[in-house]
Homo-oligomer: A and B are copies of this chain.
């Protein structure tokens, strides 16, 4: 079974939703059979790399509220994060553009480090107050999950994996995604938002109970099926030798 998770590294509910989903997964009977794929989503493709202000002021000006209201909103989100064991440091968080972090995620995916890299980037932003658009910072984080630091730096300096990020974003648009986190199970069911753990668990169970083996619409109509052979339409693998 396949679960695709569209998210962004500066989206507070993405990290919370990830934890709630992981809690559901740990209770799910079929957890060994689940492939989790993180997909790129940019909440704000035009976000600046350097903002010279904190997240409270940025939110206040974005939503037309006072700094105090923005702080109260963040505090509320921080409390929800705390409930599931996460620490959000809004006061020192460095708001920035996430495109290069997404490229790094795809670079990590190619080296079987998708899951570790995603977690590390979220923690870097929300907990460690790191600048996740700075290439040296990103390469250091990559090294922490087992990637080569110099190779990561070289990749970041290039425009590699731009296509991969765009492909995820476009795929998300085709699926109608307007907000994140967004969880897609077997391209059949979706859970939108950082829902409670029980919602994720029941979605997993529903998709699991309905999963069927492939329906073969045709098969070699005739011909031998000798091992190691090609019959009229198919080349078969050796069954033993």
**Which single member of B11, B206, B230 contacts A235 (CB below 8 Å)?**
B11
Whether the pair B14, A235 counts as a contact (CB closer than 8 A) is: yes
- Interface magnitude class on chain A: 35 or more
A85 within 8 A of B: no
Q: How far is the CA of A95 from the CA of B227 in the complex (A)?
A: 18
Q: Is A112 an interface residue (CB 8 A)?
A: yes
A189 touching B217 in the complex, CB below 8 Å, given contacts A194-B233, A230-B12:
yes
Q: Given A230-B12, A233-B13 in contact, is the A44-B238 Cβ separation under 8 Å?
A: yes
B191–A235 touching, CB < 8 Å: no
A201 vs chain B, min Cβ distance (A): 11
Q: Is A84 part of the contact surface with B, judged by Cβ < 8 Å?
A: no
Q: Which residues of B contact A63 (CB under 8 A)?
A: 226, 228-229
Collect the chain B residues with CB atoms within 8 Å of residue A188's CB: 212, 214-215
